[in-house]
Structure 1
Amino acid sequence: MRRDDAARGDPTRRAFAKYGSTVALGGLLAGCVGGGDADPESPDGGAADSDSSDGGESAESETDADDGSYTASISPMGEVAFESPPETVFTRLTHHAGMAFALGRGNDVTALHAPDYYDGLWNQFVERLPGVSLDWSGRYSSWQPDKEKLYGLDSDVHLADPAWITRQDAWDRADVDEIAENVSPWFGNSLSDRRQEPADEWADGYQYYGLWEQFEIVAEAFRERERYEALAGVRDDLLSTIEGGLPPEEERPTAIMIAAADIESIYAYTLSNPGFLTSHTRPLGPRDAFEGSVESGTVVDFETILEADPDVILYLGGMEPGTDMAGRRAAFEDDPVGSEVTAVQNDRIHPQGARYQGPVLNLFQLEMTAKQLYPETFGEWPRYEEGPYPEIPDGERLFDRQRVADVINGEV
């Protein structure tokens, strides 16, 4: 859609600007949130295991039998009406891009944060899905999106949370509302990442979702209920396997998750706090080596890590192709303090992928983290240094790769 066409008020071809109970139309796309300026994955930048929410919009959609239009609901937008299922998809954070990928629209993503970085990282896992391909390279980098660029991309849906978008200095209520009216609607939720408090004007009715709860809602917006149910079945089986194999809490290892672009700035991340960022560690129930004394994003040093003395260190971003895992381990091993940490002495520094994970990455990360924490129960995790997700022998896999690949490819 050309910018001047939209300015004349021509209706969007994909969706109506119809929003429901969460906010009134005039106050639809406004507000800003705390803690949203830093890159959520970059190092500088106790809930139930079921990945449950505090409530929220229904995942069910309603269809108008006359013209094929339908509605789907998600906080903070409320009810959104679509003329037809979206094909091209704007995203900002990769949990949303990962949802589009799971629904067979990975290559239809028009924008995401750090596209080349996440293209490389995601493809480390896609390598193990037979017949599945993904290419996010060269997409528009949308961490600080430009409004005119969104007109140019002309995406069928903006799978992003307007409460995060309007935190950017270049955006206000009118700008986001304009895009929803003239290009396509917003349909996403990001403050559920760590249950962030919304700005005051969003606080009334803002709902939090688990990763898979939001995926179910997004699947309804894309008219992809079957794909969602098939993948949710894979996850249910995986969680059942994990739950059946967990030792008593007092016998579980202590662990920490860290990230570091250089060893001088080590950032620690929590493992079990509410929010979908811990949807791959919370179900596994490791004991927090910091015992709650370190908040997510806190800079720590070797002395602090040694004081906590974890049995396992999970290294965020270690699966990214440009990460030197051997060098990261060596930095601990060569330091007189770091080398004393139990996890270092027992060679239990393991790579992780991303916290802003879609459902498919979540399956892989549940499997890999289960093996990293409980090798005696779920099988050894290979000593990873580089390359794609390791080829796990058939009998030691915790979920069916072929089934996941079939669903992504539309063979439900």
Structure 2
Amino acid sequence: MSDGSDGAGDGPSADEPTRRDYLKRGAVVGGGLLAGCAGGPATPTDAASDGDTATATEAPTEREPAATGTTTATGGGSYSVTMAPVGEVTFDAVPETWLPYCGEYADMGVALGRGDGMAGIGGADRYYTYVYDELPGVSVDTEPLEQYPTVQTREAFYELDSDVHFYDPGMLINWFDWDRSDVEEVAENVAPFVGNLIFRRSDAWHDYRYYSLYEAFEKVAAVFRERERFETMKSLHDEFLARIQARLPPAGERPNVMLTFEGTDEPETFSPYRLTDKGTSKKQWRDLGVGDALAGTGIENLSTENRGELDYENLLSVDPDVLLVRGHERKSAAEFRDTVLAYMEDHPVGSRLTAVQNGRVYRGGYLHQGPIHNLFLTERAAKQLFPDEFGDVTGDRELFDRQRVADIVNGEI
């Protein structure tokens, strides 16, 4: 990927207004720009990209306005969207091109019928587009993602020149060594930021409001002025989840689950996650009401600070009913069983695990899931945990209406 310009000198001259001038004209930031975003750098990798915090607080009960319409002096309609940590951002036109950091925000844009405007992505390796193959008439142009798969520098933001950035600026500051002045410069000279790191709740620097998946999705819908699509997708999600939950066995009859990360086909050690984290990456497990096999063990959650790993003897001391292993999302269920599970079945210690003996070792799901991803991951999780009720995970049984999802994406609401 080309580095593009150095940023500050690019763009139209003062007497050459463009569509972007109208897009970002009047953009304002609510009190305390990027409050709480300063902190030490950390490296976001798949092996340390989720976490648990016992002190994480729920989002405030009061609701921010999703979008507030106003009228400009010229008679055109402007509107505002408020989301922590940036605050209020005002748009004079609906963004056409946009840039997400990772899979959750990319998937939100696709769900709202805006996939054609995605200009690149901050982490293409954590965005799974194959799910769209199951939705009739839905696809994503992967060329921009292949050309710009890791947009993380000021130069790349200038080069892409998007209309809005779905990034948490705190992440740029704490993970990629940006300064606050860098964020402000890009917001002023390129386009505003609207985003919040939602997939985990373990970063000390994230001391501002968190959002649930659908709270964040609502903000993205407000940016694109796609309220009807959002509400229709939320209704579909709520109805689907209610149907699943109505068929779950009593809590005492559900399996206890251990969620780990290990990206190799021949795993020897495992990094532990805790299901008590309220980040969106564990939404399906919370919604299915499963128990955390690590509860009461004193084993800490994988995080940027905690790099501890467990060997097979450690796993055997916990001996979960179900073992979930992240890092294999480009494998099918059958491929995972033929590689990772097969290796564990032949391992002298691993083969003694109850989950291995019962064939209940599965892929652990995405770190970055949006609303469409979540439908597929919840369906998969229901099959993994309750195959007698929902069907085998390697089978073709569908638990939600693919065509209805496709209709929403395509605007047939």
Query: TM-score with structure 1 length normalisation?
Result: 0.85
1:237 aligns with 2:239: yes
Cα offset, 1:44, TM superposition: 8.4
Between 146-155 and 315-324, the greater mean CA deviation after superposition? 315-324
Stretches of structure 1 that go unaligned for 5 or more consecutive residues are 383-389
Cα offset, 1:56, TM superposition: 6.3
Pick the aligned partner of 1:299 from 296, 309, 312: 309
> 1:269-284 counterparts in 2 under 5 A?
269-284=273-288
C-alpha separation in 2, matches of 1:16 and 1:391: 50
> 1:81-230 counterparts in 2 under 5 A?
81-115=90-124, 117-118=125-126, 121-123=128-130, 125-136=131-142, 137-142=145-150, 145-168=152-175, 170-190=177-197, 192-197=198-203, 199=205, 203=207, 206-230=208-232
Distance 1:195 1:43, change over 3 A: closer
AA paired with 1:222?
F
AA paired with 2:382?
A
1:364 counterpart residue number: 376
2:396 counterpart residue number: 391
AA paired with 1:74?
M
Between 29-38 and 219-228, the greater mean CA deviation after superposition? 29-38
- Give the share of equivalent positions with the same residue, in percent: 36
Question: Is contact 1:33-1:164 (8 Å) kept?
Answer: no
Question: Is contact 1:129-1:404 (8 Å) kept?
Answer: yes
Distance 1:8 1:198, change over 3 A: farther
Q: Deviations over 1:361-407 (max 9, x none)?
A: 0111111101111112222222xxxxxxx632xxxx32111111111
Stretches of structure 2 that go unaligned for 5 or more consecutive residues are 303-307
C-alpha separation in 1, matches of 2:126 and 2:366: 9
C-alpha separation in 2, matches of 1:184 and 1:29: 19
AA paired with 1:194?
R
Question: Is contact 1:56-1:74 (8 Å) kept?
Answer: no
AA paired with 2:101?
R
Question: Is contact 1:59-1:220 (8 Å) kept?
Answer: no
The alignment of Structure 1 onto Structure 2 pairs a total of residues equal to 385
C-alpha separation in 2, matches of 1:107 and 1:7: 25
Question: Is contact 1:17-1:180 (8 Å) kept?
Answer: no
Question: Is contact 1:69-1:83 (8 Å) kept?
Answer: yes
- SS, match of residue 110 in structure 1: coil
Q: Deviations over 1:179-218 (max 9, x none)?
A: 111111000000x33224553xx74xx2111111110111
Question: Is contact 2:82-2:88 (8 Å) kept?
Answer: yes
AA paired with 1:400?
D
Question: Is contact 1:94-1:113 (8 Å) kept?
Answer: no
- SS, match of residue 266 in structure 1: strand
C-alpha separation in 2, matches of 1:378 and 1:301: 32
1:387 counterpart residue number: none
AA paired with 1:278?
K
Query: TM-score with structure 2 length normalisation?
Result: 0.85
1:313 aligns with 2:320: no
AA paired with 1:295?
E
Cα offset, 1:334, TM superposition: 1.0
Between 258-267 and 179-188, the greater mean CA deviation after superposition? 258-267
Question: Is contact 1:107-1:134 (8 Å) kept?
Answer: yes
Distance 1:197 1:100, change over 3 A: same
Distance 1:38 1:265, change over 3 A: farther
Question: Is contact 1:80-1:185 (8 Å) kept?
Answer: yes
Report the RMSD for the aligned CA atoms in angstroms.
2.8
Cα offset, 1:32, TM superposition: 3.2
Q: Deviations over 1:241-293 (max 9, x none)?
A: 12212222221101112221231342222223222121111111111112253
Q: Deviations over 1:116-158 (max 9, x none)?
A: x345x331x2121111112334142336x11111111001100
Between 94-103 and 267-276, the greater mean CA deviation after superposition? 267-276
Question: Is contact 1:29-1:173 (8 Å) kept?
Answer: no
AA paired with 2:215?
E
